[in-house]
Each structure stands twice: as structure tokens, then as C-alpha cells.
Amino acid sequence: MAERIGVYPGTFDPITNGHVDIIRRALRICDRLIVAVAENIGKSPLFTLEERLALVNHELGIVNGADGGKAQAKVFGGLLMHFAEENGAVMIIRGLRAVSDFDYEFQMAGMNARLDPDVEMVYLMASEQQQFIASRLVKEIASLGGEIESFVPPNTAKALRSKFA
Ligand code: PNS
């Protein structure tokens, strides 16, 4: 049977425990997962593309240790559906937290389905523990000297602390 490749796209500015949770669970439903780190210049990320990729790669090293090397990170700069097609993906994975995520994701799913109906958008509900984690809020807390250790992996926490040192 053909390998089922999934793409998990995002800005990952920076990667949080919520993202890691989605990566681990996505690996249960696809044979191989590409974590697609968006250039997303328009969003003016706090971390450079290289930094975001390195932080994602660090966590994939840990995840792959347990899951047999099925996840890899790649950078993408163009249209998500083109990236999915170029990489032979059959599904795009996104995490869903609160209802507030729904509007944007619903619209994105509709637009992407029009661009390529053969690539399925698959939504995983955030786990109870990770429901409220958002990179944006983690950055705000870090910038104000708050505790971020329960929201992000230790390596990311270190990177955030040195950004705001
Ligand atoms: O983590 P984010 O910021 O919510 O990720 C958003 C992302 C990168 C997945 C989205 O902006 C995206 O898909 N960008 C690529 C450009 C694209 O395909 N746009 C059309 C979307 S319908």
C-alpha cells in the first residue's frame, strides 16, 4: 500500500507543547509526517526561520526517538497545497483549540479543498492539557518575565528566555 504522507504546517514561532502533542498524535494516522515551517514573513515572527526550524528539529529528534524516525521538518514559502502536492502528501494536519480557531480553519479548509480536493484537511482537537497554549501568548508571557515552562519544551523555553534576556 502507498505510504500515507501527512503535512503539519505552521509558523511555529516558537514550537509549543501543543504542537508537539499534535505531532505525536498525527504520527498515529500517517506513515510519515512533514512538519512544514512557514516562512510567513508577513507575520513578523519573533524567531528567524532558521531558529524556528532548529527548535522544531530539536523536538522531532525527541519524538523520532520514540516513534522510529517518521517525522521530518521542511521549510515552505509558497502555497501550502503546492507544497503538499510536491511532497506527495494525502493529508494536511491542523490542531484545533477553542471555537475561536474554527472560523479561520473552516475557511482555510474550504479554500484548500478547492485548490486540491485530493488532499484532505484533518483536524485534531488539542488535548485537554494543551487547550489554551498559543505561541502568541507564550511570547507575551516570556517578554514580561513570566513562567513559560509548562507551555513549551525546555529547549524552546531556553530560547525564549535568551530572546528576552
Ligand atoms: O501556525 P499558523 O500561523 O496558524 O499557520 C498558518 C499557515 C502557515 C498554515 C497558513 O498561513 C498557510 O497555509 N500559509 C501558506 C500560504 C497558503 O497556502 N495560503 C492559502 C491558505 S487557504
Residue-wise pLDDT for 26-73, tens only, equals 999 999 999 999 998 788 999 999 999 999 999 999 999 865 689 999
From the number of C-beta atoms within 10 Å of its C-beta (0-12, 13-18, 19+), residue 21 rates as middle
Residue 8 Cα to ligand 1 middle (Å):
11
Q: What is the pLDDT of residue 42?
A: 85
Domain ranges of the chain: 5-157
Contact 142, 148 (CB under 8 A): yes
Q: What is the pLDDT of residue 65?
A: 87
CB of 11 sitting under 6 A from ligand 1: yes
At the top level of CATH, which class does the domain 5-157 belong to?
alpha beta
pLDDT, one tens digit per residue, over 132-151 is 899 999 999 999 999 999 99
Q: What is the pLDDT of residue 99?
A: 85
Q: What is the pLDDT of residue 46?
A: 97
Cis bond before residue 14 (omega within 30° of 0) = yes
Q: What is the pLDDT of residue 1?
A: 76
Q: How high does pLDDT run on average in the chain?
A: 95
Q: What is the pLDDT of residue 75?
A: 98
Residue 108 Cα to ligand 1 middle (Å):
8
CB of 108 sitting under 6 A from ligand 1: yes
pLDDT, one tens digit per residue, over 75-93 is 999 999 999 999 999 999 9
Q: What is the pLDDT of residue 68?
A: 67
From the number of C-beta atoms within 10 Å of its C-beta (0-12, 13-18, 19+), residue 123 rates as middle
Residue nearest to atom 1 of ligand 1 (CA): 10
CB of 10 sitting under 6 A from ligand 1: yes
Residue 165 Cα to ligand 1 middle (Å):
30
Q: Is-catalytic flag, 97?
A: yes
Asked whether residue 165 carries a pLDDT value surpassing 70, the answer given is yes
Residue nearest to atom 4 of ligand 1 (CA): 10
Q: Is-catalytic flag, 162?
A: no
Q: What is the pLDDT of residue 40?
A: 82
Residue type, 103: D
Distance CA 162, CA 165 (A): 5
Average pLDDT over residues 3-15: 97
